[in-house]
């Protein structure tokens, strides 16, 4: 009987000392502490270094001259101002840094509503991760590459972004380990090579309800980019509309291709066993190799 109070107190101690789940934090960034005087950091990267999985990073109005490496899971990075007022810009120098936001080997990261421009290889790059989301970003003026590049990464969502005036493509999906990515509701225009492209990728990548215009090529799926789904896109006023080349098992369905200078859709370079159906093409459909119409 004398041991009973001790046992009760021990139980209470155990209950109170057991650690619970960590509470997610919200970190605030302001480059000059003018718009958000109570901000925690004046650098996005500094906030990322401190952040823990599950945390949210809110970025106030300003121009941020830095690159941001995101290699932690489950972070939300969100701009907190009117569109175009939170800018991640390549620092001045003889050679532009390769990446603006670089999501490297991570999962569950959201990057939302930033303007990102002037970086070399890609303004935003997802590499080696999965389950990340890029939403409502504006990516422009990549000096050598793409506005957004998804490389060897799976099951990511790239949606509602605008990508223009990049030397390469607006949005690129590439790499043998790039599969089941969803690219939807984006606008790509005035890029140097293509609006949207899937190149040498894994299976199951989807281009859905994107607008691509005023590019040399509106949309292309080439060089062993097998098993893609290209559906409900509007491709217009490009030099070339939609290209499927050297790929198999590609479904091209319900797209609207119009006012492209050379052709609406072209299958070329060993494209075989692909399906093209319910297209609205107001130029030509050029079939150079294996295709199965319905």
Give a yes or no: residue 2 inside a domain.
no
- The token pair at 173 is 């999906």
36: Cα separation from own chain's centroid: 28
d(CA 33, CA 41): 8
Q: Quick one: pLDDT band at residue 284, thresholds 50, 70, 90?
A: low
Given a cut of 60, whether residue 15 has pLDDT beyond it is: no
- Evaluate if residue 10 carries a pLDDT over 50: no
pLDDT at residue 2, rounded to an integer: 36
For 13-31, what is the mean pLDDT? 71
CA dist list (Å): 287 to 165, 194, 246, 292: 30, 20, 13, 10
CATH number, domain containing residue 49: 2.160.20.10
Evaluate whether residue 63 is within a structural domain.
yes
How would residue 3 be classed by pLDDT, with cut points 50, 70 and 90?
Answer: very low
Task: Report yes or no on 124 lying in a domain.
Answer: yes
Please tell me what DSSP assigns to residue 83. Answer: T
Domain carrying residue 60: 23-161
Q: Is residue 141 part of a domain?
A: yes
Q: How far apart are CA 23 and CA 145, in angstroms?
A: 39
b/e sequence 10-39, b meaning 16+ C-beta within 10 Å: eeeeeeeeeeeeeeeeebbbbbeeeebeeb
For residues 142-150, give the mean pLDDT: 96
Other C-beta atoms lying within 10 Å of the C-beta of residue 189? 19
Query: Would 135 be classed as within a structural domain?
Result: yes
Distances (CA, A) of 169 to 148, 154, 162: 8, 20, 12
**Which residues, including other chains, have CB under 8 Å from residue 139's CB and lie 6 or more apart?**
100, 115, 116, 117, 123, 124, 147, 148, 161, 162, 163, 164, 166, 170
pTM (predicted TM-score):
0.89
pLDDT score of 272 more than 60? yes
Segments in the chain forming alpha helices (H): 3-17, 44-50
Domain count, the chain: 1
The Cα 179–Cα 84 span in angstroms is 31
* 213-261 pLDDT per residue, tens: 999 999 999 999 999 999 999 999 999 999 999 999 999 999 999 999 9
pLDDT in tens, 95-109: 999 999 999 999 999
Please indicate, yes or no, if residue 202 is contained in any of the structural domains.
no
The secondary structure of residue 130, as a DSSP letter, is B
Give domain status of residue 55, yes or no.
yes
Q: What mean pLDDT do residues 10-24 have?
A: 52
In a domain, 278, yes or no: no
């Amino acid at each position: 009987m004398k041991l009973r109070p001790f046992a009760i107190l021990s139980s209470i101690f155990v209950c109170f000392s057991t650690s619970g789940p960590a509470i997610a934090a919200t970190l605030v960034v302001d480059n000059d502490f003018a718009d958000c005087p109570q901000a925690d950091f004046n650098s996005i990267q500094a906030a990322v270094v401190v952040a823990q999985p599950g945390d949210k990073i809110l970025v106030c109005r300003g121009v941020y001259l830095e690159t941001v490496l995101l290699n932690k899971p489950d972070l939300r990075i969100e701009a907190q101002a009117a569109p175009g007022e939170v800018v991640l810009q390549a620092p001045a120098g003889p050679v532009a840094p390769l990446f603006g936001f670089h999501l490297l080997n991570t999962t569950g990261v959201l990057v939302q509503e930033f303007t990102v421009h002037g970086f070399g290889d890609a303004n935003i790059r997802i590499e080696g991760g999965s389950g990340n989301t890029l939403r409502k970003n504006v990516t422009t003026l990549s000096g050598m590459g793409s506005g957004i590049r998804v490389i060897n990464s799976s099951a990511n969502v790239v949606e509602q972004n605008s990508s223009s005036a990049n030397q390469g493509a607006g949005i690129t999906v590439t790499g043998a380990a790039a599969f089941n990515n969803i690219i939807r509701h984006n606008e790509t225009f005035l890029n140097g090579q293509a609006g949207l492209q899937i190149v040498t990728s894994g299976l199951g990548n989807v281009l859905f309800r994107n607008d691509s215009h005023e590019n040399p090529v509106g949309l292309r799926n080439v060089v062993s980019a097998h098993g893609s789904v290209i559906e409900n896109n509007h491709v217009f006023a490009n030099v070339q509309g939609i290209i499927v080349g050297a790929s198999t098992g590609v479904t091209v369905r319900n797209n609207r291709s119009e006012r492209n200078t050379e052709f609406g859709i072209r299958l070329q370079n060993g494209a075989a066993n692909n399906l093209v159906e319910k297209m609205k093409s107001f130029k030509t459909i050029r079939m150079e190799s294996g295709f199965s119409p319905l």
